[in-house]
Structure formats: C-alpha cells, structure tokens
Amino acid sequence: MKSINTKVEQFKESIFSTMTKLALENKAINLSQGFPDFDGPKWVIDLAIQALNNNKNQYAPSMGILPLREAIANNYKKIYQMPVNPLTEVVVTNGATEAIFCTCLALLNPGDEVVVLEPFYDSYLASIELTGARIVPVTLHAPTFNFDFNELKNAIGPKTKLLILNNPHNPTGKVFTDEEIDTIGKLAIEHDFYLLSDEVYEFLNFVRPHRPTASYAGLNTRTITISSTGKTFGLTGWKIGWAIGPEYIIKAIHNVHQFSTFCVAHPLQVAMAEAISNMEDYLKEFKHEYSRKKDILVTGLKKCGFNIIEPQGTYFVMAQLPAGENDVDYCKRLITEKKVATIPTSAFYLKSEDGKKMIRFCFAKKDETLESAILNLSNK
C-alpha cells in the first residue's frame, strides 16, 4: 500500500496519553493530565440539560450561535475594555486546540517560520508542521522562565510569520509581564508578524489581573486571541473554544473550521452563552478554590523535599529535579514506586535540555486526590 501523509506518520503518542496509560497500569494517582477529576458547576450542566430538552439538537451556525459570540464579546468589553464585534471578529471552535489548528492553517504557508516559546503545549508543533512551516524555538529559562532578548531577536527573520504566546503559560505557570509582552509586540510590529495568544488560563492568574495581548498598544490588528470555557468551568469535555481577531483573519480561520468540524455542539453553546453572561460570582469562588488547591500541593511537595517553582498562573506546578536525574526515568519511578503520575517536561522542548531536569504536577484535582498523592510521595 502507498504510504500515508509523511508528516502525520512522524507524529507520536502524546506524553499525556503515555503517562496516563502508565498510571492506569500501576493504579497510580494521576497528577499528569491537565483536567479536573471532579465535575463542573451543576448550574452550568443544568443549562445544557435545559437546552437539550428545548430542541437545540441540530447543527449550530458554523461561526457559533450569536448569543454565545455576543456573550464572549461582551465579556472582553466588560472585563478587559477590549471592543470585539461578535458578528465578524469571533468564531467558536471545538476547544482552543481546534482554534490553534485552524489559525495555523489559515495563516501559514510552506516555508514560513513560526517562533514558539519552549516549553510549549504540544499541539502547537503538530498544527505548524502540517502547514509545512518551520518551527523556531526560543527557550524560557528556569527558574523564572524569562526569555533572553538576544535569543528572541535572533530567532526572528524575514520569513517569520507568527509567534505563539501562551499566557498564563503551560507548563511553567509563568505569567508574562507587561514589559515582556511590550518587547514581543515591538518586534512583531517591526518585523510585521502575527501573534497567536493562547489565553485559556486567563482566569487562573494568581499574581495580577489578566490582560489580553491584543489590548497592548498596536497589537490588536495582528493578534489572534484564543481561549475556551474548558479550564474556566472545569468542563474540558465540552470543547467550547474561540478565536478573536481582525475580521479578515477570523474569516480565514472560519474557512478552515467550516471544512473540518463545521460547528460546535449546539446545546452546549446555548448553555455556555448563559453561563458566560452570568459568571461574575462564580469566578470569585473559582479563583479562590484553585489558589487554595495550589497551596495544598505546593506546601505538600515542599514538605516531601521537592524543589518547587511557585506558579504564577495555570493549574500546574513545576519541580526541578536533583542533579543527575532524568525527567522521563524519574516520572516512571514515581509511578511504579510512589504510585503518583506526573509529566516529564522534556516532551515540551525542541532545543534546550532544560526539560530533562524538571517535571510537572497538576493541582486541578479533589483535595483528597492531592492529599493522597502527597502522602504517597512522603512515604519512604
């Protein structure tokens, strides 16, 4: 038989699937994958049940139902003072991952270059590689995860088409400063490239109120803002995300979306339109709960002797390994010997060896899950 697509042929099983499989085989507590082991708010689920019973079960408009696009646009205006036209500047996608995929296919041509800050969410690479564009990694250096300006500047050239920024940042938990985003923005303007700003953890910022990249001076015309409801409402299986940007870019993203998934589950969009419009009180509780869970895990891991890098955002904690340890081997030992699954961070790097020296924990878990994991890790 003739071969399959040569790029797809090179894709490997994601590190999340690998570690989860090992966790199941060893009956280990899973702090590797980034999703809650508890359900989302009942009041939001009830909205979906109501929509299901109200005959919202046929195709939704490909761009997303208007009430949801209006709710998304209203929130950007209310929370961030960022005007968004719901008719032309928002497209609803099957999670942020599809928004990233469609954006890459909409913008990139073979031979274009994309600057990616490593460590990175692994779907970035697959999306870029399928377009035939070239990935240019720039390392965020532990323990602060700041980038080196000269390294970033040297990564940018005449073929640079896009830079991907994830803020707050997975897996490091870093929140970029105004100065860092201004620096990136000035380079984007000077060299005329786009910014894809992945902001799915926008409401899990423990150090300062979130500020979208598109709201910085001069960046609204070249930034595609991507976010979703999965992390905010703990309903990752609903896969409701979106891309926001200038009309001509959103039109191009929608052109890809309509010929891949076409639309997002109609009743879940109806529920989320209502939920997003009424989440002010929920967000206060949400931020408090995750801050508390962060403290449980960080305090517990420190007592167990881990060298923790305190996260500024997201629901992940990075730990630096003792000298001589390798992240993959260390994670496998934690699963078999301590019955706790984590993520080896070398899977998120292309250039630097830094990832081999760190592992990532997830604290989007029940208190008893976190406490059981800490107990396992503390046992000799």
Give φ, ψ of 279 to 5 degrees.
-110, 10
The per-residue pLDDT for 5 is 83
Count of domains forming the chain: 2
Q: Determine the angle formed by the axes of helices 266-277 and 42-53, rounding to 10 degrees.
A: 140
Q: What is the reported pLDDT for 380?
A: 65
CATH number at residue 216: 3.40.640.10
User: Is 57 part of any domain?
Assistant: yes
How much of the chain is helix, strand and coil, in % rounded to 5?
45, 15, 35
Question: Which residues contact residue 22 at a Cβ distance below 8 angstroms, ignoring those fewer than 6 apart?
Answer: 28, 332, 335, 341
Based on the fold, state whether residues 197 and 323 are members of the same structural domain: no
Residue 319, domain member (yes or no): yes
Same domain, 30 and 103: no
The residues that bridge with 307 in the sheet, in sequence order, are 320
Q: What pTM was estimated for this model as a whole?
A: 0.95
Taking the C-alpha atoms of residue 80 and residue 77, their distance in angstroms, rounded to an integer, is 6
Domain boundary among 279, 304, 324: 279
Q: Which of 244, 264, 279 is the last residue of a domain?
A: 279
Same domain, 329 and 273: no
Residue 191 sits in the same domain as residue 316: no
Do 182 and 246 fall within a single domain?
yes
Q: Is 228 helix (H, G, I), strand (E, B) or coil?
A: strand
Q: Looking at this protein, which amino acid is placed at residue 132?
A: G
pLDDT at 133 (0 to 100): 97
Same domain, 214 and 243: yes
pLDDT of the residue at 277:
96
DSSP β-bridge partners for residue 241: 93, 228
Q: Single out the residue of 207, 215, 202 nearest to residue 279, CA to CA.
A: 202
Give the model's pLDDT for residue 275: 98
Report how far residue 213's alpha carbon sits from residue 201's, in angstroms, rounded to the nearest whole number. 13
Q: Note whether 123 and 216 are same-domain residues.
A: yes
Identity at 254, one-letter amino acid code? H
Q: Are residues 216 and 350 in the same domain?
A: no
Given 251, 279, 307, which residue is the final one in a domain?
279
Domain enclosing residue 308, as ranges: 6-39+281-378
Confirm whether 299 is domain-assigned.
yes
Burial of 140 (0-12, 13-18, 19+ CB in 10 A): buried
Taking 70 as the pLDDT cut, the residues of the chain under it are: 380
Q: Where in 57-133 does DSSP place strands (E)?
A: 90-94, 113-118
